[in-house]
Homo-oligomer: A and B are copies of this chain.
C-alpha cells in the first residue's frame, strides 16, 4: 500500500458567496477584500464577515472566502449545526442539492438561502503529479492516519485532483479537535481505504 505525508489544513466555518448575494449583503458593485491568500491557488480569506442565522441560533462574524462563486454555500461543523438548529448534511463542495438553507445578515441587507448549508466532506487536494506518485485518481477514497495521544484514522476521505491544487488534507474544526491537530501538522495518507477487515486481519 502506498503512503504519502500530507499537511493538514483546518477549515473553520466559512461562506462562499455568489456575486448577487455579495451585493445584497454589502451593496451594489461591492468587491471582497483579500486579507490572506489560502494554500489553494487563487483562494483567499476576505476581510468581510456576515452573521449566519438558523432556527435555533446565530453565529456572528463568519468569514467569507473569495473569490465569488456561481452559488453561495455555507460550510459549518456539526457543532455549529446544533447551535444553529440546521441539520446540514456531509457534502462535497458545490453539491448542495436538497441541503437546508439559512439567513445571512450583512451590513447592507440580508439573504435568505434556500439551500447551501453543508458540512464539508473531508478531502485531500492533490495535483495530477502528486496523484501519479501516489497511485490514486480524482474521486478515490482513502484512509488518513493521525499520530498522537488521540491517534486516529479517518476513512472514506475523498481525493480531489486538479492542476491548480496544492497538496493539503482539509478537515473541519470538529475533526481537528477530535485528534488535537493544528494547521500544517503532517499526517499519513494510505492510497486506499483501510477497512475493518484490514484492521482485524
Q: List the interface of chain A (C-beta within 8 A of B).
A: 1, 3, 77-79, 90, 121-122, 143, 145, 149-156, 173-175, 177-180, 188, 190, 193-194, 196, 198-201
Contacts and interface: CB of A to CB of B under 8 A. Distances in A.
Query: Dominant SS at the A interface?
Result: mixed
B149 A199 contact: no
Given A77-B177, A153-B155, A145 B90 contact: no
Contact of A177 (B152, B174, B199): B174
Copies of this chain per assembly: 2
B1 A145 contact: no
Contacts of A175: 150, 178
Nearest to A171: B178
30 contacts: A1-B199, A3-B200, A78-B178, A79-B79, A79-B173, A79-B177, A90-B180, A121-B149, A143-B199, A149-B156, A150-B154, A150-B156, A151-B154, A151-B193, A152-B153, A152-B155, A153-B194, A153-B199, A174-B174, A174-B177, A174-B178, A178-B179, A188-B196, A190-B200, A194-B199, A198-B198, A198-B199, A198-B201, A199-B199, A201-B201
